[in-house]
Structure 1
Amino acid sequence: MQLQHSRTDIQVRFSDLDLLGHVSNSYYAQYFDLARVTFFRQIAKLIKNPVPSYVVASVKMDMLREIRFDDRVVVDTWCSRVGTKSMTIEHVIYANGEKATTCQTVLVGFDRDTRSSTALPTDWEVSDLSDVIPPSKA
């Protein structure tokens, strides 16, 4: 099964801002977490079994421009790699249609009973982005 791209709208809250008047870097991880939940809920609708448990093994973020309170913010999320026990999830935050932040997260399948890594579904395939259009600046 090919894993679908997802897009998540984010409402910037006043409490997300720092003294400089832009979103504090500490909130970006929360935006990515919310987008990842949206991504996996989308998968859950397509499969018969529950989505496997996973843990975050690695996160790499690059801030490219600031995000302000009144910006229209969306996060695009997709899968760029699926291995036997881990997968790579990519995120891009757009602010008013401009790329603001990128994030690459490695997730590892996790068995809650044995508290150890476990295999991911063998039929999962990376996302196809050929039809994805970046959000507009409107």
Structure 2
Amino acid sequence: MFSEEFNVRFYETDALAHVSNTVLVGWFESAREPIFKLFNPELDLQNWPLILASYKVDFLEQIYYGHKVQVRTYISRIGTSSFDVYQELWQQQIKCVTGTTTLVHFDFKTKQSVAIRDDIKDILLENFYPLN
């Protein structure tokens, strides 16, 4: 599991006094940085090797200003060139949000998917969390 903590900033709250739903996908993306570094250690945007194919977010509880949040990041599926990242957002020991993102190892020059190297698959497997 990869883990990242964030402070909830005041401007991330909305008129209903909880964190805006749009903020959560940003936290999820930020918490995927260790996975990005597996494919691109320098995070070189000129040679980016991944594309986001889809994501789904389920809102379970509200998140509030004044308490840190923790994003727990796992791998829930590994294919030849794509994989699913399963994430949970926790606040005060309560699971508030879950999300699954499909990422594809991709070559922008050829506009084709590329097989994930075995050494990277091994690290992804170390963080595997089966959903079923």
What is the TM-score of this pair, normalised by structure 2? 0.81
Shift of the alpha carbon at 1:128?
Answer: 4.7
The aligned counterpart of 1:90 is 86
Give 1:26 deviation, angstroms: 0.6
Equivalents in 1 of 2:128, 2:34: separation in Å? Answer: 17
Question: In 2, are the aligned partners of 1:84 and 1:122 still within 8 Å (CA)?
Answer: no
Please give the alpha-carbon distance, in whole angstroms, between the structure 1 residues aligned to 2:101 and 2:112: 19
Q: 1:40 aligns to what?
A: 36
Query: How far apart, in 2, do the equivalents of 1:36 and 1:76 lie?
Result: 10
Which residue of the partner structure matches residue 112 of structure 2?
Answer: 116
Alpha-carbon distance in structure 1 between the residues aligned to 2:78 and 2:24: 24
Give the SS at the match of 2:116: coil
CA 1:27–1:40 in 2, change beyond 3 Å: closer, same or farther?
Answer: same
Quote the offset at 1:79 in angstroms: 0.8
Secondary structure of residue in 1 paired with 2:118: coil
RMSD of aligned Cα (Å): 2.3
Structure with the bigger percentage of helix: 2
CA distance in 1, matches of 2:63, 2:84: 25
> Structure 1 regions of 5+ residues with no counterpart?
130-138
Selected match of 1:103 from 84, 99, 104: 99
Question: Measured at CA, do residues 38 and 12 of structure 1 come closer, stay the same or move farther in structure 2, by a change above 3 Å?
Answer: farther
Q: How many residues align?
A: 121
Stretches of structure 2 lacking an aligned partner (at least 5 in a row)? none
CA distance in 2, matches of 1:18, 1:26: 10
Cα distance per residue 1:84-115 (max 9 Å; x no partner): 01001010000111100000111111102112
Provide the C-alpha distance between the structure 2 equivalents of 1:74 and 1:91, rounded to a whole number of angstroms. 10
Normalising by the residue count of structure 1, what TM-score does the alignment of the two structures yield? 0.78
Q: CA deviation at 1:68?
A: 0.3
**Equivalent in the alignment of 2:16:** 20
Q: Which residue, out of 72, 80, 90, partners 2:76? A: 80
Q: Quick one: which amino acid aligns to residue 121 of structure 1?
A: R
* Contact map agreement 1:62 1:103 (CA 8 A) in 2: yes
